[in-house]
Amino acid sequence: MRTFRLLMVLGMTSVVSLNQMRPSLSQPPSQLQLEDGELSDSGVPSATVESDSREDALTPSVDSQTQESGNGTENAIASPGRIDPFTDAASTVIGQFAPGGATGSREGAPPEYLDPSTNPLLYPTEAEEVEIVGTQPLTLTQAIELARRNNPDLQEALLNFERSQAALREARAALYPNLQLRSNLTHADSSQTELSNERQRDLFGDNATEQDDSTTSLEGTVELSYNLYTSGQRPAQIRAAEERVRLNELELERIAAQLRFDVTDAYYNLQEADDAVRINRSAVDSSQQSLRDAEARERAGVGTRFDVLRARVQLANSEQDLTQSLSQQRIRRRELAQILNITQSVDVSAADEVEIAGLWELSLEESIIQAFQNRAELEQQLVQREINEQQRRAALAALGPQVSLFANYNVIDIFDDDQGLADGYALGARLQWNLYDGGAAKARAAQEEKNIEIAENRFTSQRNQIRTQVEQAYYNLQSNFRNIQTANIALDQAKESLRLARLRFQAGVGTQTEVLDAETELTRAENNRLQAIVRYNRALASMRRSITNLDDPYRSDRPSAEP
């Protein structure tokens, strides 16, 4: 009778376990509707939004286990097989990359309601204004577009570029003559005239001739002037202003590229946090199953209290890991929202699946040369060097002759003098030559010469830094690509190990410790696979950023970076 009861318990436990244990890397896609007031996975009230498989993967059922299916992340990750993108044997060539990473499954521009207020000085004053009322899934492409539209750093760089264009127009205004109009209305009560009248009265009495000591006059002058020769100062200033426009244009390009990289990196961080939630939820489900098995064996009289306590400890640890991963998920969402500069009341989530973002076809040496030819940072130092050279010429021009032409026409009328208007004109040329200024001009020129040397040194430093960035990103690409292959193998083995450990435990030939160890190894293998993919994608994004500021890393239209 005891043997029959044992067989019945083991049989029922095996059926339940086999029905529930179907290993998988992601949940099947579905549409998740969150009503007003319902709590989303982040623990905040969410509006009605449409979710994809990424969102659904964050909300598995209590009894769901990792399922063995052909969709989701596993397919995307396992597909490259043993292709090595760093050798000529790579069969997949990615010729055109989307800005910063993989393209998403959702198409179209990001919704306009995510844009912040048009008033940059507005800030919330009520708690309701900063309450998160909804979560908007975004693809990586949409996130990049949204950042380009709203990011304040990029907007500031654009304003600096437009300001430099206005400064260039100011400098070019020196090419044209100046036309001035001056007008003076003057009323004078002369003390000298009054004193002269008193002297006349003292000398001649009533026969004295007095002058009017109060006069009112109106004078107007029109003058046309032109700097004919400036010893090279004017063209040097115009050339320097043109180079400043180019410098700010390059800075705008650099900030846009850095923003694309920052958004990509933050998006990958969010993807990693999302999958960490999924993995830890799967670990909680697996720990719950182990606890149910241990309790069933204890009730059947074939298990021990020790096994139940071990299973409960394992479940508590898994729940703590899940709580921590949920916290990290919320943090990563807000970090991405901060970069995108979206409205205060909406959160964002990642709509793209975690998968390899692409392959890199260039060798290390080709990548370094491309970086030298394309990076705006190197050209910025060359442009800064040219600005300093023009400023040096402008400083020395102050010691040369300055020739200008002028013509003016003058009209004057003195009221109450019984005379009409009086007018006249003048034509002429002015020569100004600063023969000695105490060495100030030469000192300014010497400062610009040192600035030229500083720009050259910065060019060298920036060149070495760019090479280091390319090499670091390239080596990270290699190591993480190979780690993905190793992690896929380890994940398959961990799944099989857990399946066998459960069967052994249910058959009475294994121990609870074996099951718990297998669960821990499966969670570790899933985390290792996730980190390998995300690190590979980060390295790929860093590689693209290191190579060029352009969307197409294979386009090279920059001049040779020779100082």
Indicate if the pLDDT at residue 302 is higher than 90: no
Which residues lie below 8 Å from residue 262, measured CB to CB, with a gap of 6+?
147, 339
Query: Residue 17: which pLDDT band, with cuts at 50, 70 and 90?
Result: very low
Q: What integer pLDDT is reported at residue 207 of this predicted model?
A: 65
- Examine residue 89 and state whether it is found in any structural domain, yes or no: no
Amino acid at 40: S
Is pLDDT of 290 > 50?
Answer: yes
Residue 54 resides in a domain: no
Residue 296's pLDDT is what? 85
Please check whether residue 472 lies inside any domain of the structure: yes
504 within domain boundaries: yes
Rg (CA), the chain: 39
Domain with 504 in it: what CATH number?
1.20.1600.10
Q: How far apart are CA 299 and CA 214, in angstroms?
A: 123
Give me 501's structure tokens: 């450990």
Residue 30 domain flag = no
Given a cut of 70, whether residue 224 has pLDDT beyond it is: yes
- Domain total of the chain: 1
Beta strands in 231-372 (DSSP E): 346-350
For residue 92, give the nearest of 103, 100, 82 by alpha carbon: 82
Lowest-confidence pick of 66-70, 467-471, 481-485, 514-518: 66-70
Token output for 484? 């993905």
Maximum CA pair distance of the chain? 158
Residue 424: phi and psi, rounded to 5, are -170, 175
Lowest mean pLDDT among 162-176, 192-206, 401-415: 192-206
Measured CA to CA, the distance from residue 427 to residue 416 in angstroms comes to: 31
Q: Residue 333: give the domain boundaries.
A: 149-172+233-390+442-546
Which of these, 265, 529, 232, lies nearest to 395 by C-alpha position?
Answer: 232
Domain annotation covers residue 126: no
Q: What is the pTM of this model?
A: 0.69
> First and final CA of the chain: distance in angstroms?
93
- What is the chain's mean pLDDT, rounded? 77
Angle between helix 512-547 and helix 233-300 axes, rounded to 10 deg: 170
pLDDT number for residue 314 = 86
- The residue whose two tokens read 């080709």 is 366
For the cut 50, the answer to whether the pLDDT of residue 249 exceeds it is yes
**What pLDDT score was predicted for residue 197?**
66
pLDDT of res. 550: 52
| pLDDT value at 85 more than 90 | no
- Does residue 415 fall inside a structural domain? no
* SS3 call for 10: helix
pLDDT at 519: 84
Starting at the edge strand found earlier in the chain, the sheet holding 401-414 runs 178-189, 214-229, 401-414, 422-433
Domain assignment of residue 505, yes or no? yes
pLDDT at 172 over 80: yes
